[in-house]
Structures are given as C-alpha cells and as structure tokens.
Amino acid sequence: MSAILDLPPSAPDRAPDGHRIRTLLVSAIAVLALAAVLVSTHLYGGYGIDADFSTRLLGPSLSHPAGTDQLGRDMFARTLHGLALSFWVGLIAASGSVVIAMLLALAATTGGRLADEAVSFLIDAAMGLPHFVLLILISFGLGGGTTAVIIAVAVTHWPRLTRILRAELLQLRQAEFVQASRHFGKSWFYIGRHHFLPHLVPQLLVGLVLLFPHAILHEAGLTFIGFGLEPSKPAIGVLLSDSMRYLSAGKWWLGLFPGLALLLVVLSFDAIGNGLRLLVDPRQEQS
C-alpha cells in the first residue's frame, strides 16, 4: 500500500506519452518499409519479370529468398513489383474515394435540405449493397483491367468517410466563426470553400491512408478471381491466383510470400493511419 501511495503524481500521465511514442515509432517504421518497397522496384528493374526457364520452380534459397515461379522468375522481386503496383492502384483509387466523399459531404452541409437528404440516401443505398459483388459488377461492366479496378474501388469506398465528414461539418456549422460569416452575408459556397474545406484536410489525410488497405485488398481480391488487373502484370492477386495450381504439388512458397507481403502492407498502412490520427487529433493520445 505504501508503495502505491509513494508514486509520483505525474506517473499516470506518462502512459499516454509512451503510447504516443510507440505509435509514432511504428508508423515511422511502416513508412520506411513502404518507401523501401517502392525504391527496390526501381533497383530491380526488369528482374523478376523476364522468364528464365533454367531456374523454374526452385525453392527458397540464398540466391532466391522467396523461390522462383513456373517460368523461373524470382518470386521476391515479383512480390516487390506487385506491392508497388498495388500501391499506385490503391493510391489512385483511395484518392478518388476521398474526393467523392469530400464533395458529397460539402454538398450535404451547404446545399440545403434536399441535398442533405439526397446524400444521406446515397450513403444508405451504397452501404446496403453487397460490397464485393458491387465491385465485381462494376469491374466486369467496364471490361476489367487496371482502369476498371481503380474506378470500381473508387466509387464504392466513399460512404463511411462521407458519413464521418458530414457529421463533422454539421457540428462545424454551429461554430461562432461560421455563424459570423453568415451574418456578414457570406454564401454557403463561400463558407464551404474557406471554412469547411481547410477544416477537413486532416480528416481527409487520415481517411486517405485508412482507405488504402481496403483498396489494396479489394484490388487483390478482384484480380485473384479474374476481374481485376491483367494476368501479364506482376500483381499480388495474379501471383496468388497462379500459385493455386501448384500448391497441391508442394510449391508452398508461391503463395506464402505474396500473401504474407500483402498482409504486412495492409498492417503498415493501418499503423500509419493510427499515427496520423494521433497527430491530427490530440484527444487520441488519451485513449
């Protein structure tokens, strides 16, 4: 009992600081890891893309840490190429979703009652549809390929972020500086551009990072079942799909390393998102 009573008053306050430091450290490591993946693809160049039948279906070794595939291509290099490709596809698709969410949230809060009801209806309708089935239909309707996957992911990942941004802006409408702008005769369009939009930048940044894992996973899923990226590209979904026909023959490395790399990338983006959320919202430090 005396030991507990002798604790310094500031001891409980150090826990949030430790949590903050750990979160930011993990986020920094995740950023460095993703940067290393992007840089390594340029260093590898065409290695891992060109076939070499003299080294086909070799297991993991010092010369090929992740083995080789049925055409003799290095799986480690192909996995890095696939991660880089997924990164750019995810970046474009997630950015598109963020722009859609921002425009709809601004329209709902500055366009009057009818606009708000229309946006709310769109959110409920989009969230009520089977997500992956909708992705397949859009990608199939657009003919498949990289562009189709980007569009399909972009137009299906905005509802939750739109709902969050809309709630944030509805609270901001009651702020004193917004009411002052209204009293000075400023239009809702002016308020949305000069007051609402700058306020949304931190939320948009965090939302962009947190949408990355969903975009990458759905891109890989669509590619895996044949509705995504072209089979000629070293996408993670293509690698996993090609590995299925060889797993029963004991070629376990063909599916293990791409799947594990995809999982690590998703966890990295989740860690980066947590770090950004901690930086832009100090209240997260107390949770």
Domain map of the chain by residue range?
19-44+72-286
For residues 253 and 66, is the Cβ–Cβ distance under 8 A?
A: yes
Per-residue pLDDT of the chain (287 residues; tens, 9 = 90+): 444 444 444 444 444 566 677 777 877 887 888 888 888 777 777 776 777 788 888 888 888 888 888 888 888 888 888 888 888 888 899 999 999 998 998 888 878 789 889 999 999 888 888 888 889 999 888 888 888 999 999 998 899 899 988 888 888 877 777 777 777 777 767 777 777 777 888 888 888 888 888 888 888 888 888 888 888 888 888 888 888 888 888 888 888 889 998 888 888 888 887 777 777 665 554 44
Q: Residue 281's pLDDT is what?
A: 62
For residues 27 and 274, is the Cβ–Cβ distance under 8 A?
A: yes
Distance CA 53, CA 66 (A): 17
pLDDT tens digits along 55-84? 888 888 888 888 888 888 888 888 888 888
**Checking phi first, is residue 227 left (phi over 0); if not, alpha (psi -120 to 50) or beta?**
alpha
Its pTM stands at 0.78
Which SS3 state, helix, strand or coil, does residue 216 take?
Answer: helix
CATH label, 19-44+72-286, candidates 1.20.1740.10, 1.10.150.530, 1.10.3720.10, 3.30.70.260: 1.10.3720.10
Alpha-carbon 166 to chain mean position: 21
